[in-house]
Amino acid sequence: MQHLPKFIKDLDWKYSIREIVLIVIGILVALGLNNWKENQQLKNEETEILQELVMSLQNDLKDIRINLEIHEKSYESTLLLIDHLKQGKSYSDTLDAHFGMALGSSFFLSDNVAYNTLEKKGRQLITDINIRSELSTLYAHDYAFIKELEEIDRDNLLFNLQPYYTENFKEFILFQTATPINYEDLRNDFDYLGKLEWVRDNRKYTVARYGLIKNRVEDLVLVIEQEIEKK
């Protein structure tokens, strides 16, 4: 090799350098392709979980709207009864529907399947930090709080209002109708008036909370749908 002409030695070096460059380029291309595949897979997974979240939130909206309507009707019935009793108005069978509806309550069933899947995969799968934040607030705070409100309401209904209605009303069908056994006694019963006022205040607050949650879910669905369109 020592006696090889200089131009041959130069060719060997050039060939070696070219081979090294080609190998490096090949490695970089392979790494880039692998990274692209991984990013594409993550992007597909993100799109899939976002689509599932939209479906879950739309299911929640159906339940939220139904429950909101129940509490609104119960609130209106309670207001009417309180006004009727305080003014000492006489009995009318049209009041029966309001006596029954005053006890209207609800049980929020949120569809947590998609969010639980996201929690297992890691919330970082969703690249938009605002969507992640809104989801966390909705599921960990808003949903938990409304369920706690409803639990308090059900306990009051089960252990306080329902026993009172069973004793003082006939033809009692929860949320539908209740006929006072003795309306005059009922009209002068400050304990019953106090119960109605508790229900009124609870319904007013629950309606407000449900309204806020409904708006938040509707806005979040729109934001997630817009994020899906960008993928």
- Give the 3-state secondary structure of residue 150: helix
Confidence grade of residue 21 (pLDDT, cut at 50, 70, 90): low
According to the model, what pLDDT value does residue 58 have?
A: 97
Cα separation, 145 vs 138, in Å, equals 10
Residue of 144, 153, 143, 115 lying closest to 131 (CA atoms): 115
The residue length of the chain stands at 231
**Please, which pLDDT band fits residue 34 given cuts at 50, 70 and 90?**
low
pLDDT at 174: 83
pLDDT at res. 41: 77
**Largest pairwise CA distance in the chain:** 127
Lowest mean pLDDT among 22-36, 84-98, 138-152, 195-209: 22-36
Write down the residue that tokens 């306990």 correspond to.
155
41 or 48, which is more confident? Answer: 48
Least confident range of 21-25, 65-69, 96-100, 181-185: 21-25
Under DSSP, is residue 172 helix (H, G, I), strand (E, B) or coil? strand
CA-to-CA separations, 190 to 82, 87, 108, 138, 144, in angstroms, rounded: 11, 13, 32, 39, 34
Q: What is the pLDDT of residue 22?
A: 65
Mind giving me the DSSP string for 76-134?
HHHHHHHHHHHTTPPP-TTHHHHHHHTT---------HHHHHHHHH-GGGS--HHHHHH
In angstroms, the Cα distances linking 27 to 11, 17, 32, 37, 220 are: 24, 15, 8, 15, 43
pLDDT band at 32 (very low <50, low <70, confident <90, very high): low
Using 50, 70 and 90 to split pLDDT, how confident is the model at 227?
very high
pLDDT in tens, 111-163: 999 999 999 999 999 999 999 999 999 999 999 999 999 999 999 998 999 99
Q: Which two tokens stand for residue 96?
A: 């029966």
Contacts of 110 (CB under 8 A, 6+ apart): 60, 63, 139, 143, 147
* 78 pLDDT above the threshold of 70: yes
Short-list 149, 133, 132, CA closest to 210: 149
Distance separating alpha carbons of residues 178 and 171, to the nearest angstrom: 6
Burial tier of 28 (Cβ tally within 10 Å: 0-12, 13-18, 19+): exposed
pTM of the model: 0.82
What is the structure's pLDDT at 128?
Answer: 94
In tens, the pLDDT along 189-224 reads 999 999 999 999 999 999 999 999 999 999 999 999
